[in-house]
Chains A and B, each alone.
Chain A
Amino acid sequence: MRSPPLRPRRRRTSLSHILPLFKAKTGIDVKVVAQGTGQALDTGRRGDADVLFVHAKAQEEKFVADGFGVKRYPVMYNDFVLIGPKSDPAGIKGMSDVAEALKAIKSKGAPFISRGDRSGTHIAELDLWKAAGIDIGKEKGPWYKEIGQGMGAALNTASAANAYVLADRGTWLSFKNRGDLDILVAGDKRLFNQYGVILVNPEKHPHVKKALGQAFIDWLVSPEGQKAIADYKINGQELFFPNANVPGA
């Protein structure tokens, strides 16, 4: 049986693992359009999606406060990692303070690739520059390149240019064209990357598949959905850590 399609938007990765489990249980077919968080929220604002699966908490809360979404549910987290060439011209390998690492990259003028696309990762990157006390909009030089594209394109560019780049760990683990790149900085608590899920408000857009969309959200935050997320692994490494029941996530 083929149920009417849902149209959630989100970045990428583990959905191809968990969607078949959801479909087997409910018969609901979820159609995924992969977009960065900024674009996904805009798609939701226009009413072109039923459910949004995104990662930029402040913007998600604003989306709901503006009446475009019903409610934001925390679902899971992973972390961002600072990727760079193994030759490491800025000498940041192993640093535990990501802000210090960014300062070193800037002071050396080492090449850095920015998503530049209003995605969740781009927003996180901008916040980190701010945490480092650097106004990147004003202080960027030719070493800082905004490519205006997705995570994969940014990693491809960094790989070709031997540049530094901020990536979410999930995309990095499944990325194949690594060249000389490796994880140089990880583990700083400011690299935490929380994902949330939101039903687009049917009061704004009456065609939104409210019951089906809510069923998907309910399943994601249920013990079964949370287990499915935790079970998703690449090369034995868990990519996402469910935390739907952690207050304030």
Chain B
Amino acid sequence: MPGDVSALQLLLSGDPALLAIVRLSLIVSLSAVVFGGLIGVPFGAAVALTRFPGREAVIVILNALMGLPPVVVGLAVYLLLSRSGPLGSWGLLFTPQAMIVAQTVLIAPIIAALARQTVEDLWSEYRDELAAMDVGPLGRIATLIWDGRFSLVTALLAGFGRAAAEVGAVLIVGGNIDGFTRTMTTAIALETSKGDLPLAIGLGLVLIAIVVVVNAAAWGLRRAGERLAG
């Protein structure tokens, strides 16, 4: 297919428009991973390590929220940030910031649910040790997050994968504005609607390649970290 070649060629030849799209995709999705991680990891760990009434229900809801439809998240964030919405005065609709907000809402539950499982598994190994050392609840959370940091990378990567792949949320709150809020996925949707299927497929292959590179980098980082940590 000639399209595969042309999209890759555009990327390799440093086409500024395509590079800007790739850059924005990475900025938005990686920012969402950072914020989603800052919210999701401590929340998941707290749910794993504390006992309270309704905890099982929280876990079920958290697991169910992993399946949040991007288009519903997009619509909710749209209504929130619209000039006629409660946060309209911020003027964030149709900006990259709005896209980061939407993707953070989308992936924080994924990271939280996976972090809860990871930390809970660790807890069964460390329980006696931490109890003997008389570590308080916050200390336990911090200790187990730190000890599970390499496994938690998988939770973050799952969040990144979801963010990088979705089109529904960023399309609604970003508006697919040329040179401003156009990402890989919204560009693919646009080229498909123009009937330029080869270019759309080519862009899709570029997106998949980028996701592989990010995962490889995370894997390398994890291996290096594990070696250093001994």
Interface centre among A150, A151, A177, A205 (most CB of B within 10 A): A177
CA distance A155 to B196 in the complex (A): 12
* Interface magnitude class on chain A: 20 to 34
Inside 8 A of A151's CB, which chain B residues have their CB?
193
A48 within 8 A of B: yes
CB pair B178 A177 closer than 8 Å: no
Which one, B82, B178, B193, contacts A156 given CB within 8 A?
A: B193
Q: Which residue of A lies closest to B174 (CB)?
A: A33
CA distance A205 to B89 in the complex (A): 11
Q: Which residues of chain A (1-57) have a CB below 8 Å from chain B?
A: 5, 7, 16, 31-34, 46-48
CA distance A157 to B91 in the complex (A): 36
Which one, B82, B175, B196, B197, contacts A33 given CB within 8 A?
A: B175
User: Told that A31-B175, A176-B195 touch, could you supply 20 new A-B pairs with CB distance under 8 A?
Assistant: A5-B180, A16-B178, A31-B177, A31-B180, A33-B175, A34-B176, A48-B84, A150-B193, A151-B193, A152-B193, A153-B193, A155-B195, A156-B193, A159-B195, A174-B194, A176-B194, A176-B196, A177-B195, A177-B196, A207-B83
Task: Produce 1/0 per residue, A170-181, CB < 8 A to B.
Answer: 000011111000
Task: Produce 1/0 per residue, A151-195, CB < 8 A to B.
Answer: 111011001000000000000001111100000000000000000
Inside 8 A of A178's CB, which chain B residues have their CB?
195
CB pair A33 B177 closer than 8 Å: yes
Inside 8 A of A32's CB, which chain B residues have their CB?
177-178
CA distance A176 to B194 in the complex (A): 7
CB pair A7 B94 closer than 8 Å: yes
CB pair A47 B175 closer than 8 Å: no
CB pair B195 A47 closer than 8 Å: no
Q: Which residues of chain B (67-88) have a CB below 8 Å from chain A?
A: 82-85, 88
CA distance A16 to B190 in the complex (A): 14
A–B Cβ pairs within 8 angstroms, 17 of them: A16-B178, A31-B94, A32-B178, A33-B175, A46-B83, A46-B84, A47-B82, A47-B88, A48-B82, A48-B84, A48-B94, A152-B193, A152-B194, A153-B192, A175-B195, A177-B197, A178-B195
A104 to chain B, nearest CB (A): 26
Known: A16-B178, A32-B178, A207-B91. A47 touches B196 (CB 8 A): no
Inside 8 A of B194's CB, which chain A residues have their CB?
152, 174-176
CA distance A200 to B193 in the complex (A): 28
B30 within 8 A of A: no
* Interface magnitude class on chain B: 10 to 19
Inside 8 A of B84's CB, which chain A residues have their CB?
46-48
Main secondary structure of the interface of B (DSSP, over half): loop
CA distance A31 to B84 in the complex (A): 20
Inside 8 A of A33's CB, which chain B residues have their CB?
94, 175-177
Task: Produce 1/0 per residue, B172-211, CB < 8 A to A.
Answer: 0001111010000000000011111100000000000000
CB pair B178 A152 closer than 8 Å: no
A180 to chain B, nearest CB (A): 13
Q: Which residue of A lies closest to B180 (CB)?
A: A31
B156 to chain A, nearest CB (A): 31
B93 within 8 A of A: yes
Shortest 5 CB-CB distances between A and B: which pairs?
Answer: A152-B193, A177-B195, A47-B83, A33-B175, A176-B195
Inside 8 A of B176's CB, which chain A residues have their CB?
33-34
B99 to chain A, nearest CB (A): 13
CB pair B195 A48 closer than 8 Å: no
A26 to chain B, nearest CB (A): 18
Known: A32-B177, A48-B94. A205 touches B195 (CB 8 A): no
A171 to chain B, nearest CB (A): 8
B122 to chain A, nearest CB (A): 46
Inside 8 A of B195's CB, which chain A residues have their CB?
152, 155-156, 159, 175-178
CB pair A156 B177 closer than 8 Å: no
CB pair A48 B83 closer than 8 Å: yes
Inside 8 A of A5's CB, which chain B residues have their CB?
180
